[in-house]
Structure 1
Amino acid sequence: MSAGVVTRLSTLDRFLPVWILAAMLLGLGAGHVIPGLGAAIDAVQVDGISLPIALGLLIMMYPVLAKVRYDRLDTVTRDRRLLLPSLLLNWVIGPALMFALAWLLLPDLPAYRTGLIIVGLARCIAMVIIWNDLACGDREAAAVLVAVNSVFQVIAFGALGWFYLSVLPGWLGLPQADLAVSGWAIARSVLIFLGIPLLAGYLSRRLGERARGRDWYEARFLPRVGPLALYGLLFTIVVLFALQGAQITGRPLDVARIALPLLAYFALMWTGSFALGRGLGLSYERTTTLAFTAAGNNFELAIAVAIATFGVTSAQALAGVVGPLIEVPALVALVYAALGARRLFSPHVSGSDRVRQA
């Protein structure tokens, strides 16, 4: 990555890997050192939803969705070069790739394999917005693709789980597994983790511009709320790793085995999607958005489904928990890879390509 790109990032963004590593270590350390911390955090929930995690995700997503220019969304929905490849990558290639990697690299660990297949079915609707924004992707395109993923998630998750865990293994002569998942549980996850911040972001822009004008909203309001996204991300990471610190530190070899297919998945999905976007002639911003929305996963949903189906201490749930442990540093690295690859595209200005001020 060129020095020019780095200097255009804010101080908070520039040292993002340091903050994230510190948050991961803080969470792991707190969960390991403070007896009962994970259980205490997990106990603060309503209808099976962890309030600390929900709070972190909502704080994380609101500022980015408040930045979206909702009057430009129609330019995204008309772009079939973006929408159709995104659907193919998310709902055909992504689950199939995770299925193949899980069977290839974990042939002797059926419970972890099942957990990873569930992860592959849960397409990202949360943290991908942060990675896309850090990489200067198209915010409006990300909002549309995340919304499309959310709708497909409610409709297709249960059917795809049945296909990849029961039907396809049977066709291939492999052992089969069952997945019982409530459609309401999926819809509830989408409504809370996407619907609430999306509505808040839309109302902020609509009411803010109406009351004070667009110049005030983008020059004064957004810079004030912008840092909350990364604060929310770091808080979420601390909570996630505090909750599962004992399992992660207590099973290092298992974590390493689970990490291999996850690393391969992120690398293959992101690189392939980025190359596809460039090959289709998409701009840097939309190519970046295509790549991150294809590579990310909704680990919150995957963990919830694994716990509801197999139990909180199950190996399937641990496979989902390891997901953020691998995803966070992997996608941070891919943010820098995207910024470094920016020089491969023709320079132009787009509405979502805003330079962060230090």
Structure 2
Amino acid sequence: MATVPAREELRAARLGLFEKWLSVWVALAIVAGVFLGIVSPGLFRWLASLEYAAVNLPVAMLIWAMIYPMMVAVDFGSLRKVGDKPKGLILTVVVNWMVKPFTMAGLAVLFFEVLFADLVSPADAQQYIAGLILLGAAPCTAMVFVWSQMTRGDPNYTLVQVSVNDIIMVFAFAPIVAFLLGVTDITVPWETLLLSAVLYVVIPLALGYITRRLLLARASADATAIGNFTAALKPMSVMGLLATVVLLFGFQAEVVVSRPGLIALLAVPIIIQSYGIFLLTYAAAYAWRVPFPVAAPCALIGTSNFFELAVAVAIGLFGLGSGAALATVVGVLVEVPVMLSLVAFANRTRGKFEARATF
């Protein structure tokens, strides 16, 4: 199979107008969703009724619009390079699957069963905990290309990390989420959880692989085919994200208007988790002398979340208007500004980091 230079795929991840100001667009989408949910509640009730097997069809279509272009960029051929530089990959796997889900669960329980116990009802607290668990157990796959490019990370290694992460997610996401939800005494509907994993990871990943093969076969020697294809679909992905936010906050409009402070409460553990995971991974990479072009994406992939999957599973498990869905949507609001601040921090510390790092 022909291969595409990773720099061409990361070129498609360059920040355009929408991506550069994504936090602003998300904020505007939230305002629009809340406004529409208040003035047209009947419309959102109708949209909420369009579901099959606990999966809301409008939201499913929008999430597929987000995920599919990103899955095309995954290069399974890059897995052959896993053994070349194992340190960064080891850190990525350990943090994403052995640390991050459990620290997020711990923070969720700490804040909503202890520190915020007087501010939310026990039933609502369980919903928020479930949403935060789903967010923490879904490590980023797509936006990593953007963060890597912004830190001038090693593009080939980033592709290895993303490919391995996606394969692990197919097998590990559902069991980890089920275990953590069970630990927090929340009933786990396994059928819906597994269906969501298949719908939002396995199928898009398979379609992305097929599309990639077709593009490479038709492009022959043209190594820019995949970069051009994903760049052309990027507006669809961003618009899918914004439309999903509008819908989700439309479904949650009454809660947001009646309890605006709830958004801030949900943001607190997410922000602490994000900065904590980044510093842990970045410090470990520094101590292990991992070069900056590998260490920076390694820390960022552990910090960022696959919020599309988290939102989809929250909706499937607990419903469109649930507290769990709201918690995952707050993750969308928090993620972009937090990640941009961490990219800036990584770039500022590049010199000192590279002076120490060696394989």
- The TM-score, its normalising length taken from structure 2, stands at 0.77
Residue 300 of structure 2 is aligned to residue 291 of structure 1: yes
Instruction: Tell me the CA shift for residue 319 of structure 1.
Output: 4.4
Instruction: Tell me the CA shift for residue 191 of structure 1.
Output: 0.9
Residue 162 of structure 2 is aligned to residue 142 of structure 1: yes
Q: Distance in 1 between matches of 2:268 and 2:137?
A: 23
Tell me which amino acid in the other structure corresponds to 2:332.
V
Report the counterpart of residue 90 of structure 1 in structure 2. Answer: 96
Tell me which amino acid in the other structure corresponds to 1:275.
A
Equivalent residue in structure 1 for 2:347, among 342, 351, 354: 342
Tell me which amino acid in the other structure corresponds to 2:175.
I
The alpha-carbon distance between structure 1 residues 155 and 219, as it changes in their structure 2 partners (threshold 3 A), is closer
Tell me which amino acid in the other structure corresponds to 2:26.
I
The alpha-carbon distance between structure 1 residues 211 and 323, as it changes in their structure 2 partners (threshold 3 A), is closer
The alpha-carbon distance between structure 1 residues 97 and 18, as it changes in their structure 2 partners (threshold 3 A), is same
The alpha-carbon distance between structure 1 residues 192 and 264, as it changes in their structure 2 partners (threshold 3 A), is same
The alpha-carbon distance between structure 1 residues 13 and 284, as it changes in their structure 2 partners (threshold 3 A), is same
Deviations along 1:308-357, whole A, 9 cap, x unmatched? xxxx76xxx314413312x22321113322432235347xxxxxxxxxxx
Report the counterpart of residue 251 of structure 1 in structure 2. Answer: 259
The alpha-carbon distance between structure 1 residues 161 and 343, as it changes in their structure 2 partners (threshold 3 A), is same
The 5 Å alignment of 1:200-219 reads: 200-213=207-220, 214-218=222-226
Instruction: Tell me the CA shift for residue 123 of structure 1.
Output: 5.3
Residue 190 of structure 2 is aligned to residue 186 of structure 1: no
Q: Which runs of 5+ in 2 are unaligned?
A: 1-13, 150-157, 352-359
Q: Which moved more, 1:83-92 or 1:185-194?
A: 83-92
Tell me which amino acid in the other structure corresponds to 1:344.
T
- Look up the SS of the partner of 1:9 in the other structure: coil
The alpha-carbon distance between structure 1 residues 285 and 246, as it changes in their structure 2 partners (threshold 3 A), is farther
Q: Distance in 1 between matches of 2:253 and 2:164?
A: 35
The alignment's C-alpha RMSD in Å is 3.0
Residue 210 of structure 2 is aligned to residue 198 of structure 1: no
Tell me which amino acid in the other structure corresponds to 1:54.
A
- Look up the SS of the partner of 2:41 in the other structure: coil
Structure 1 contact 145–293 (Cα < 8 Å) conserved: no
Equivalent residue in structure 1 for 2:174, among 154, 158, 163: 154
Tell me which amino acid in the other structure corresponds to 2:50.
V
Report the counterpart of residue 240 of structure 1 in structure 2. Answer: 248
Deviations along 1:177-196, whole A, 9 cap, x unmatched? x3221322222111111122
Q: Distance in 2 between matches of 1:335 and 1:235?
A: 21
Instruction: Tell me the CA shift for residue 11 of structure 1.
Output: 2.5
Instruction: Tell me the CA shift for residue 59 of structure 1.
Output: 0.9
Q: Distance in 2 between matches of 1:279 and 1:229?
A: 37
The alpha-carbon distance between structure 1 residues 247 and 147, as it changes in their structure 2 partners (threshold 3 A), is farther
How many pairs are equivalent? 319
Give the % identical residues. Answer: 22
Q: Which moved more, 1:263-272 or 1:32-41?
A: 263-272
Equivalent residue in structure 2 for 1:264, among 266, 272, 279: 272
Report the counterpart of residue 301 of structure 1 in structure 2. Answer: 313
Q: Distance in 1 between matches of 2:32 and 2:201?
A: 27
The 5 Å alignment of 1:315-334 reads: 317-325=322-330, 327-334=331-338
- Look up the SS of the partner of 2:148 in the other structure: coil
Deviations along 1:220-254, whole A, 9 cap, x unmatched? 43332233221222222222212212222222233
Q: Deviating runs (4+, > 4 A) in structure 1? A: 77-80, 123-127
Q: Which moved more, 1:241-250 or 1:152-161?
A: 152-161
Report the counterpart of residue 47 of structure 1 in structure 2. Answer: 53
Equivalent residue in structure 2 for 1:9, among 3, 8, 15: 15
- Look up the SS of the partner of 1:94 in the other structure: helix
Instruction: Tell me the CA shift for residue 303 of structure 1.
Output: 4.4
Q: Distance in 1 between matches of 2:60 and 2:298?
A: 24
Tell me which amino acid in the other structure corresponds to 2:162.
A
Instruction: Tell me the CA shift for residue 54 of structure 1.
Output: 1.1
Report the counterpart of residue 134 of structure 2 in structure 1. Answer: 122
Tell me which amino acid in the other structure corresponds to 1:21.
A
Deviations along 1:272-301, whole A, 9 cap, x unmatched? 334334444154356425433454252332
Q: Distance in 1 between matches of 2:106 and 2:136?
A: 19
Report the counterpart of residue 349 of structure 1 in structure 2. Answer: none
Q: Distance in 2 between matches of 1:147 and 1:53?
A: 24
Equivalent residue in structure 2 for 1:27, among 19, 30, 33: 33
Structure 1 contact 60–232 (Cα < 8 Å) conserved: yes
Q: Which moved more, 1:115-124 or 1:329-338?
A: 115-124
Q: Which runs of 5+ in 1 are unaligned?
A: 1-7, 166-177, 347-358
Structure 1 contact 130–229 (Cα < 8 Å) conserved: no
The alpha-carbon distance between structure 1 residues 223 and 261, as it changes in their structure 2 partners (threshold 3 A), is closer
Q: Distance in 1 between matches of 2:176 and 2:170?
A: 10
Deviations along 1:136-186, whole A, 9 cap, x unmatched? 362442232133133112233323332x32xxxxxxxxxxxx322132222
